[in-house]
Amino acid sequence: MNSKQENFSEKPDVEKKQDQKTIVDIDMYLKYGAHIGTKYKNGHMKRFIFKARPDKLNVMDVQLVDSRIKIAIDFIFKYKPEDVVFISRKRYALPGMKFLEKNFNYKILVDRFIPGTFTNPNSEHFIEPKLVFIADPNVDRQAVEEATKARIPIVALATTSSNTRNIDLIIPFNNKGKKSVALFFWILNRELLLKNGFLKSPDDYKHKLDDFVYETASDEKTDMYEKDQKRRNFIKSQKDDQRKTKRHSRQSTQQPRAFHNTTTYR
């Protein structure tokens, strides 16, 4: 059941309005901006957009947001936890994913996705999940590409500007906001606890949404993901400098000067 077999993002009956009440109060979606998109819109996301605000931000249809969350939860629940992997390079999803790992033993992959994880059996990181969840398909593109090659179905949170190519089940949702992402995983964790019989009713759910909000240390001014990017850029810059130095050294050896000048060249 992947994009080559059954593409959930294209199924027309998915969009039917449901008579059941929403999975959480509509006000929660509005309060935490779950429906707020970006100023840009991808062609496949247009059908989820309700309107554009005066500030040009696209707003997604809250009823469709809620409907897709219900469908995604039912779909994820069909798989054994050991067969599902949740992926997010952005750290906003980290607290929620840790709850899923702790409560249900779902596998989670954070930070950089190692190439070959789904496609190279000789890699020490190789795994063969039956379902992949992507928090941001624009950021976790390598994981999307490998899951597609391995014919693993993909569920993903997607904002209005997300690249939804090869995503089997799109969940229209604000995957850019810290609290909106926390809200999604707060809902997912609660509903899976209910479906697995660990809770008798939603009222038994004691976790606060703040428990799912990613917070850096008080002295950190940038997200750890951004720091990681800066570190990688710094290492790359150092390697480039080393290559330039070696190349200059080889050229100097191959073409020695005929005389030595006491002047220092800079």
Which tokens belong to 75? 């779909």
Joined tokens for residue 185: 């995983």
Give the predicted TM-score (pTM) of the model: 0.75
For the segment 227-251, what is each residue's pLDDT rounded down to a tens digit?
Answer: 566 667 667 777 777 776 776 666 6
Q: Does 188 score more than 60 pLDDT?
A: yes
Q: Is CATH 3.40.50.10490 the classification given to domain 8-212?
A: yes
CB-based contacts of 238, cutoff 8 Å, min separation 6: none
147-167 residue pLDDT tens: 999 999 999 999 999 999 999
Over the chain, what is the mean pLDDT? 85
Is the CA virtual torsion 55, 58, 64, 66 positive or negative? negative
